[in-house]
Structure 1
Amino acid sequence: MPKARAEKRSRRERRGGGGTGTGTGILFNTGAGQHILKNPLIVNSIIEKAALRRTDVILEVGPGTGNLTVKMLEKVKKVIACEIDPRLVGELQKRVQGTCLANKLEIKVGDVLKTDLPFFDACVANLPYQISSPFVFKLLLHRPFFREFALRLVAKPGTKLYCRLSINTQLLARVDHLMKVGKNNFRPPPKVESSVVRIEPKNPPPPINFQEWDGLVRIAFVRKNKTLSAAFKSSAVEQLLDHNYRIHCSLYNTEIPENFKIAEKIQTVLKNTGYSEKRARSMDIDDFIRLLHGFNSEGIHFS
C-alpha cells in the first residue's frame, strides 16, 4: 500500500509540480503564480475596461487555460500569448483548435522576462504574481497582481505603500486602479486579494535618463523614512558616487583638489537644493527631478 501511494504521488508531481488539482486534470503550480481567473463576470469586466479595438494586437502573459484569451480573441485582431508552462500551452491550443479564433492566436513558449517583447497595442493579462514587478518595468521601458502590488503602483507620496515601484511607474505611465477582484474568483484561490490596474505608457516618455533616475531613487528608497542626508552617508553610496564623479572629471578635464571629499560635496548638493532633511516617502516626481538636476549639475551621476 505505501508503494502504491508513492507511485500515485510521483505521477501527480510529474503532472503539476506540486500544485493544486482542478477539473481539467492539470495541477496548477501555485508556487509559480498559476491561479486561473474563473469568474466570467470579472473576465468580461476586465475586457470592457481595457477598451479593446478590432484592430488591436494584444500581449497576454500567463494565459493559463485561456478564459481571458478566448474572450479577447473574439474582439481583437490578434492575441500574442506568452506561456512558460508547456502543459497549459497544450490546453490553450486545444481550446481554440478547429475554430475561427485559432488563426488569431499566437503562442510564445518561454520566460517572458528573458525574451524580447513583440509589437503589440495593449497588454491585458492575469499577471503571475512572481513576475509582476520586473515585468511592469520591462513593459514600461519597452518601446516600438496581487492587491498590494497593484496599490503600490498607484500609491501617492506620504502613503504607507509609496515606494520606488510607485514613483518609477508613475514617471513612465499613467496608472489607474480599476477594481478589486476577490480570491474566490480564481481556481485555485490564491492566498491574497487582487486588483485590476490600467497602465498607459506616457508618449512620448519624459526626457529623463532612466538609469540616472533609477540610481538616485534606489538610494533614496533603501530607507525611505530616513532623511536624504542620512541615506547618502552610506559608505557604499559614497564610493559609487566618488567613482562616478572622478570619471566625469576625467572626461571633462576637470581638476580634482587634493583634499576633495565626495561626502562633503554630496551634503552640499542636498543642502543647496533644499532636500537635505527631506524623506523619500514624501517626495514626488518633481522633487526627484530637481534633485537629480542638482547632482548632475555638480558632476555627480548615478549610472
Structure 2
Amino acid sequence: MGKLAFVFPGQGSQTVGMGKDFADQYEVAGSMYNQVDDVLGFKLTDIIFNGSQEKLTLTYHAQPALLATSMVMLEQFKTSGIAPDYTAGHSLGEYSALVAAGALSFPDAVKAVYLRGKFMDEAVPAGEGTMAAILGMEAQALKEVTDEITNQGDVVQLANINCPGQIVISGTTAGVEKASALAKERGAKRAISLVVSGPFHSSLMKPAAQKLEQVLNEVTVTDAEVPVISNVTAEPMTTKGEIKQRLVEQLYSPVRWEESIQTLLDNGVDTFIEIGPGKVLAGLIKKINRRANVFSVYDLQSMNQTIEAIKEEKSC
C-alpha cells in the first residue's frame, strides 16, 4: 500500500439527518455538534438533523453544517489509528482538510465558514449570478468560450475543473447562459444549470474575499502537520502564511480538483478516503484515475467497512 490521502466534500453534499447516527452513538460527536451551536449562537444542529433541506442548503447553513459533519466523522475515524499523508478538500472542503491537518481549530473553522457563507451570499444579489456544469468539453476550449463571453461584457469563467469532461462555469446569469449555449454550439455534450445561490469561484466573489481576509486575520492559523493540497495552485501547502493567502484567493479562483488529485497520485498516493456526507469526490477521483483505491466514510457502516478494508490492505 502506498500513501494515503483524506479528502473532504464541499457544498452540495448536504442532506438532512447527516451525522445523526454518529451523534446518537458517540458522546464526542454529540458534544462537537453542541460546540457548533455555541460558536454560532443558534441551533444549527436542529437544521442538520431535522431540516428542512431548503433551510440546510442556504450557503451560510450548508457550509458550517458540512464542515461539522465531516469533522465529527473524522474524529471517530481517527480512533482506528489510520492517519493521512496528505489532505485535500473541494472548495469549502479545504477548511475540513485544514482542520484535519492541524492548521485550523474546529471552532475557528466553524466560525470562518459560516461567515464565508454569509459573505458569499451577500456578494451578489440573488438571481444575478449562477453556475452551470459543462460536460464533454476540454478546459482550454471552454476557457476560450468563457473569455469570449466575458470580453463581450458578461462575466463568466471556469470555476471547478473536476475531472475529465466535467467543468463548472460561474458568473453573471447572462454570462453563464450565453457561455452554456456557445459551449454546446462548439461541441459540449451538455450544459446543466446548477441550483446554487451565487456565482462561486468567479471574480464576482472578490468583495466576499476581502471580508473573509479580515476574518482569517482574527482566527489562529498554524503550519499544517501534513501537507494540504491547495485548490488554487493544486500544490501542497504547509505554512500558515500561504494557507491564509490561498483561502482568500480560493473564493474567486477556480477549484483545480483534477490537477489536485493528479498531484497526490504523482506524490505516491494510491488510496483516497472521502470523509463526510455523500460520495461525490469518490466518483470524481475514479474518473481521474480508475486504478486509485477510493473509500467513502459517510455513515457508521461505511466507516467500519473502510477501517476494515484499510487494515486488511496494510497487513497484506
Alignment TM-score, normalising by the size of structure 1: 0.27
Give the number of the structure with larger relative contact order, counting CA–CA contacts within 8 Å between residues 6 or more apart: 2
Alignment TM-score, normalising by the size of structure 2: 0.26
Structure with larger Rg: 1
